[in-house]
Amino acid sequence: FDTPLSAAFQKQDPAYGFWLTIPSAGVAKTILRPSRGQFSWVLIDAEHGLINDTHYYELVNAVASEGASPIIRVPWGEEWMLKRALDAGAQGIVTPMCHSEEDAKKIVKYSKYPPIGTRGYGPMFAHSVPGVFGAEYDNNANDSLLVVVQIESRQGVECVEKIAAVDGIDILFIGPFDLAKQMGVQRGGEEHEAAIQRTLKAAHSSGKKAAIFCTNGEDANNRRAQGFDMISVITDVGVLAEGMLRELGVARGQ
């Protein structure tokens, strides 16, 4: 089954998405509707921000009903956290702080139904999410739901080739903010950028996709030129604050 995100991977362009941190279906739809398919995915962020698992059902449905893939970032790589996000109908799961090959294997195990993994059975709402799966969910979940791990630490980068090679890992997602903090280097500095480029190369060498978080269109455009497959352009709160302040500046004649 193709989700909007996996379909976007088949085009020449990167798959663009944005970060949702406000638990509001209205916010998600307000952005997605006028974008008319230009965003193929939305990251529903339950690691940081205001979203928790009681919001998943409504947000997943809002995103899917606008033709984009709902991707949930769980707070941590715990089996029950992945299970609840998948059961709500997420088409992909992002797990933060993958530091090792063992971490990556564990995430795959938790994300897949037996015999591949140990995911418990109870997809309460996943069948009814608008769009792709319907009654075919059970038979296609293992193959079609994307397993994404974040590379955002020195340990993660040091074994990123091994992480990329793990069967069942689909996408390496760079968290540039945490990466800088965890490495103890400056964001945008030489060491930081080298770690990003190593991760991009490792993903592609293993036939996997590389994703990155950006904070504005210019940043995203640079990453597009470097060959990233999946790019988060901006966050809901970022665009709200910047847009409001920009227009206030215009109103003041600045």
Site string for ligand 3PY, 73-112 (x = CB under 6 A): ----------------------------------------
Q: Could you say whether residue 23 binds ligand 3PY (CB under 6 A)? A: no
Q: How far is the CB of 177 from ligand 3PY (least distance, A)?
A: 3
Q: How far is the CB of 182 from ligand 3PY (least distance, A)?
A: 9
Would you say 123 or 156 has its CB closer to ligand 3PY? 156
Q: Which of 48, 55, 127, 204 is the catalytic position?
A: 48
Q: 66, 152, 229, 236: which one contacts ligand 3PY (CB under 6 A)?
A: 152
Q: Could you say whether residue 236 binds ligand 3PY (CB under 6 A)? A: no
Site string for ligand 3PY, 167-196 (x = CB under 6 A): --------xxxx------------------
Would you say 69 or 150 has its CB closer to ligand 3PY? 150
Written as one string, the DSSP assignment of the chain is ---HHHHHHTSSS-EEEEEE-S--HHHHHHHHHHHTTS--EEEEESSSSS--GGGHHHHHHHHHHTT-EEEEE-SS--HHHHHHHHHTT-SEEEES---SHHHHHHHHHHHS-TTTS-PPS--TTGGGSSSS-GGGHHHHHHHHSEEEEEE-SHHHHHTHHHHHTSTT--EEEE-HHHHHHHHTS-TTSHHHHHHHHHHHHHHHHTT-EEEEE-SSHHHHHHHHHHT-SEEEEEEHHHHHHHHHHHHHHHHTT-
Q: Could you say whether residue 213 binds ligand 3PY (CB under 6 A)? A: yes
Q: How far is the CB of 45 from ligand 3PY (least distance, A)?
A: 7
- Cα within 13 Å of Cα(42), Cβ side: 31
Radius of gyration of the chain (CA): 18
Would you say 111 or 150 has its CB closer to ligand 3PY? 150
Instruction: Assess whether 204 carries a catalytic annotation.
Output: no
Q: How far is the CB of 215 from ligand 3PY (least distance, A)?
A: 9
Would you say 64 or 149 has its CB closer to ligand 3PY? 149
Would you say 18 or 57 has its CB closer to ligand 3PY? 18
Is 161 exposed, middle or buried (CB count within 10 Å of its CB: 0-12, 13-18, 19+)? Answer: middle
Residues with catalytic function: 48
Interface residues toward ligand 3PY, by CB under 6 A? 150, 152, 175-178, 213
